[in-house]
Chain A
Amino acid sequence: MAITDLPVFQALRTKMQWHQARQKVLAENVANADTPGFHSRDLREVSFTNTLKGSRAQYVRQAVTNEGHMQARSQDGPNRPQKVGSFEITPEGNSVVLEEQMMKVTANQMDYQAATSIYARGLGVIKTALGKR
């Protein structure tokens, strides 16, 4: 299991991908701000319910050395491939308001920075555990 398959990193990665996709949609909105008939769009917020469920699953399988042993089943948790770039785009139904889009871009950037900071901190924790510091 790679380090990046840990649930924390998985969730953060999904979040970062979501912000990346959102930044693209917002850029489209701003670029088309003066196009007649263009409606601004946004991404539907990502749900982490499934990711959290996955983190509670057991990953480690017990070895069976005797017929009578009960085996703890491993769920399809950590190694499940994650779909990338399938975030739902929803129309907002109004034409583009530049100020609103700027606020969204800023919020998006800040949230992304928060996610990358936590990611880096998480890596730091693992490095500490490895004794590399």
Chain B
Amino acid sequence: MDFVRTLMIAASGLKAQNGRMRVIAENIANKDSTGRTPEEDPYRRKIPTFRSKFDRELDAQVVQLGRIERDSSAFQVRHDPGHPAADAAGNVRTPNVNTLVETVDIREARRSYEANLNVIQSTRTMLQRTIDILRG
């Protein structure tokens, strides 16, 4: 039944976007996670990636959350001499997480999630119409 397959494809989209939101939430939660010592690196921002995979059973391109990459950009530096992770000059390295970027990213994830939900809703309506033929 093609409609059921359609639902499964949309579900793969929901799942992937859900995983993306999870990674973004992780980034935001760790926005202030510095190291304990000056040598230790603070939290490095994670980047979710998507990849398209051919599903033989569904005979369709479904989406999957690919490897979670690390953002290699420079850490931010804050002057805070009292901090345990401060170096000799009194600077603390803080994670390379920008809340603004993450917020925009989460908006985009939500938009894609809703689009997939729309497809499910529409497919359900179509399926319902098919069953309605039986009722006459």
Whether B61 pairs with A38 at a CB distance below 8 angstroms is yes
> Which of chain A's residues 96-132 have a Cβ closer than 8 Å to chain B?
98, 101-102, 105-106, 108-109, 112-113, 116-117, 119-120, 123-124, 127
Whether A23 pairs with B52 at a CB distance below 8 angstroms is no
Whether B62 pairs with A120 at a CB distance below 8 angstroms is no
Interface residue tally on A, bucketed by range: 35 or more
> How many A-B pairs fall under 8 Å by CB?
108
Could you tell me the dominant secondary structure of chain B's interface residues? Answer: helix
> Which of chain B's residues 92-136 have a Cβ closer than 8 Å to chain A?
108, 111-112, 115-116, 118-119, 122-123, 125-126, 129-130, 132-133, 136
Given contacts A20-B2, A23-B2, A120-B136, contact A31 B9 (CB under 8 A): yes
Interface residue tally on B, bucketed by range: 35 or more
In the assembled complex, the Cα of A112 lies from the Cα of B112 at a distance in Å of: 24
| Subset of 13 A-B contacts with CB under 8 Å | A20-B126, A23-B126, A24-B5, A24-B6, A27-B9, A27-B116, A31-B16, A33-B13, A34-B112, A105-B119, A109-B125, A124-B136, A127-B136
Q: Which residues of A contact B (CB under 8 A)?
A: 16-17, 19-21, 23-24, 26-28, 30-38, 85, 98, 101-102, 105-106, 108-109, 112-113, 116-117, 119-120, 123-124, 127
